[in-house]
Structure formats: structure tokens, C-alpha cells
Structure 1
């Protein structure tokens, strides 16, 4: 890549940053994932030797072509599936199952269609046994945070895709998780709504101080949102490069025309274009 900043991408060599161990919230250690029986013809090696350390409060974008294992890695961090090899630690403890300290926002919103926005956002708080008045107050505040005030009593089918995704983000934030996991959450939206929600999640995540892992195959999106872009190779997925993003927060639309931003997006496109052209 062109050296357009002191903070530029670099070949991956285990991990691209060092930090006080107490600052590391997620420690991904040599993780592999095989579907099927390793060594047999039907085996699919989704991940191979992925190692990554993520600081508390850091926003990480996982970027790469379809099939590179981004969502698989996110699912292992979420506790939805187990690694075939290696391990993932959260605050020094192995992740073995889903937990309330990690919530997930999916591409398809995953809202409960029979519940209003208010009740969808309250759902996790109700499951924790929080009193009705308290959870209603928290839900209303989060609904305001994602700019859905006035839509508390609407059902998902009465809202646009962008509004449903705002509601899904509010629901994910309601239990006050330490870590927010986002699996291509804007992938099904139109271009204009996608840009608006990128700016929204950049604001919300910065204000909330959450650790975020954001899966995307959108280069512009990955660079705009992240503190660090982790570029993954085609299957089997490996971390092959990291890009440290020097842009200040809060992120604003004007930053998309910053020379460093433009150069970095273009360089990443040139790097990844051959893989996408292969249809990987």
C-alpha cells in the first residue's frame, strides 16, 4: 500500500499491536474450524490458525471475500459454535457458549414479528427479570438513541429495513453487553440507508464505548467504521493483513473524502479485487 499515513497497513505477523494484557478483552488464539472430517474429501476448512487480540472498546472490522470465514469466526466468538482447534478467551476465560456479555446483530434483523419495537427492545431485559417500569425506561432511551422515537408501538412489518435494523441495534444494546457482534448488518439495505446507518453505528458505538466486531465485505464500510481493519484471506480463512485507521472519532461523512481514507480504500480494493473476480 502507498504510505499515505504513519499508520498504514502492514503484513500480518501474528498480531499487529501490543497492549497491556489487562486491556485485551478478546484473545483469539490459533483458531481453526473444519466442517466435516478433516482429511476427507468432504471436509471444508473454514478457518486455519486465526490469531487476533482485541482491546477493550476497540472497533474491529473483519473484511474479506465471501467464504473467507468471517461469519464463522464471529459465530465462535458469540459462542454459537465451537472451534475445531485453538481457543477464544474473553477477559482471560474461554468462550464456550453464548452469554449476555456478547450480543449479536444479524443481517436479517431477527426481530420478533409479533412484538412492537418497544417490546422487542425490552425483550432481553425482561429475560433478565428487570422490573417492567425500569426496562420500559431503558428501552425508550435506546429507541431515542437510534432515532425511532414515535415508533415504539409499531410492529416490524410496519417499518422500513433501515428502521428495523435500528430497532435490532437498540435491542442488542439493551442488556448493556460488553461486546457487540455485527454480522453484515447493513448488507440487505439500499445504499443511502446503509451510509446513514454506518454513521449511526459509528456514533452509537463511540458513545457507548463498546467493543465491536463488525463483519463486512464492504471496503468503504470497513475503513469508515473501524479502529482496525482485519483483512482475511480466501478459504481457508486466515488473517493476512491489518490496517490501523487513524481517523478521529466521531466519524463524519466528510472523512470519506479524506486523502488517507480514499487511498486506503483504493489500495484495499486493488488487493482484494482478484479474489472477488474469482467469485471466492
Structure 2
């Protein structure tokens, strides 16, 4: 195996921006067919680190992301951000969803400005900052278009710009490219690799795509089927910025293959159930 167990290398204490301690999540009650979504998940994430949560459907990766976002509480354990418990949504953490979640009645420009307006940023400043981010995600020229007038890939670029606009500390991404065609998905993987490197944000990225997880991350956290637990961690030694050529790197190819062999039984079971 070329995969590197990363538990010993994971940050802790003052260097950790996010500390997930023995987190469990149960839906329902024991007499009501309770579902254990997460069981004893512990993980630390350093400031500026890009972590991919990888696993089959139902392994709890999106549940963990929702707890990180503050959308729902953990049943057991706790999550700290900079030493403080996460108890609800906060502007320091923004989320990019699979379905874009853009406001259909707003232009691309106004969508990107939305978080800045909520923070009380003045009209001129928020317009300038939004235009700079629109340029960053390569949507210059589409500022005045509405979501229904642009492609799925462009919508997701706009959603990323909107998430970055309030200058959050942490960017949470829940299978953001899952609804896109294969070619657009690859292009946006390269875009988010570039943008995240330039922005220096901490990113937690949920995916069931092995190549996507390895290409983007500094560390891949592999989760087991329900109840979701951390099966293993893989440190990614590829340099940044990430480029398309790295997909043919021998380490990349062998690691993707090994992860596929690890996860294949889980996906086969998923197919049998569906």
C-alpha cells in the first residue's frame, strides 16, 4: 500500500482550527428505529488545510458537514473551531451545495454581493469586491446574467464566489460538482484547486469521487458505511498548485487504484440495495 496513515500527522492543540472529538449522530429513538449516522468520529484540521471526506452514500459525510456548518447538533461529542464550540451557523463558515442555491431573482453580481450586504458592507465596496471574485472564478462578462441564463458549471462558479465573498475562515463544500457533466466537473476541480490555494482557506470537501478527493486534498479522510466512522486517512504529497498533469503521476494513479479496491465492496453493496 502506498497510502499513508495520517492520524499521527494530524494537527492538534493550538495549530488545529477544527477539532472534532468523538462525534456521534443518531436520528430517531431506540424504540422508533433509530439510525446511527455517525459513531465516534474524531478528526483535527489545520488552518488552511484542504480535507476531502470520501465514502459511499450513507456513510455520514454530509451529516458531519452539516454539523460542522452548525445546521444540526451532534448527539454525542463536540466540534471546536479555534477552541470554541460550534453551536449554530456562523459567517466564519460558508457552504457550497450541490444544487447551487443561488437566488433566481438576482443577477450573478447581486448573488455574489448578498453576503457582503448582510454584513453591512457599503454599496460601492461590495460591488468592487464582488467583481473581483467574479473575475477570480472566471465569470467576467456574466455579472448581469440571471441563474437561468447560465450553464450549470457557471452557476457553481457563481456559488463559489458568493461563498468566498464574506471572507470566511472555513469553506464547506457538499458534493458541489455532483450534478455536473464529467468534463465540466474536471474543469471545476482544477478551478477550485487554484482558488483554494490562492485564497488560503480551510476547506472541507464532501465527495464520493476518488479521483476528485485525491486531486483536491491535502488529506483524504475515508469513511466507512453507516454508522460512519473514519476508516483511514491518506496524506497527499502532490505539490500545489495542482495541475491536470498530476492525474498521471504514478503516486496519484496507484493511490486512486488502491482506494477503489478499498471502497469497491461498499459501492457494490450500495448497488445491490438500490
Q: SS where residue 238 of structure 2 aligns?
A: coil
Q: What is the rounded CA distance, in whole Å, between the counterparts of 1:238 and 1:168 in structure 2? A: 30
Distance 1:132 1:184 in 2: 32
1:194-214, Cα deviation, whole Å (9 max, x unpaired): 000000000000000000000
Do the aligned partners of 1:16 and 1:242 also contact (CA within 8 Å) in 2? Answer: no
Partner SS, residue 82 of structure 1:
coil
1:27 aligns with 2:22: no
1:261 alignment partner in structure 2: 252
- The answer to whether residue 80 in structure 2 is matched with residue 89 in structure 1 is yes
TM-score, reference length from structure 2: 0.97
Number of aligned pairs?
A: 271
CA distance in 2, matches of 1:48, 1:169: 31
Q: Which runs of 5+ in 1 are unaligned?
A: none
Q: TM-score, normalised by structure 1?
A: 0.95
Query: After the TM superposition, which parts of structure 1 deviate over 4 Å for at least 4 consecutive aligned residues?
Result: none
**Counterpart for residue 69 of structure 2:** 78
1:119-176 deviation per Cα after TM superposition (whole angstroms, max 9, x unaligned): 0000000011110000000000000000000000000000000000000000000000
| 2-structure distance, mates of 1:99, 1:210 | 16
Q: Give the match for residue 143 of structure 1.
A: 134
**Cα distance in structure 2, aligned partners of 1:94 and 1:41:** 30
* Residue aligned with 2:156, SS: helix
Q: Which runs of 5+ in 2 are unaligned?
A: none
Inter-partner Cα distance in structure 2 for 1:103 and 1:18: 23
1:19 CA drift (Å): 3.4
- Alignment match of 2:193 (pick from 202, 214, 237): 202
Residue 153 in 1 paired to residue 144 in 2? yes
8 Å contact 1:143–1:149 — kept in the other structure?
A: yes
Counterpart of 2:123 (choices 121, 126, 132) is 132
Partner Cα distance (1:153, 1:104) in 2: 23
Which residue of the other structure, out of 232, 246, 258, is the alignment partner of 2:223?
A: 232
RMSD: 1.0
Aligned equivalent of 1:54, options 34, 45, 48: 45
Equivalent residue for 2:172?
181
Q: Distance in 1 between matches of 2:10 and 2:244?
A: 30
Equivalences for residues 243-262 of structure 1 within 5 A: 243-262=234-253
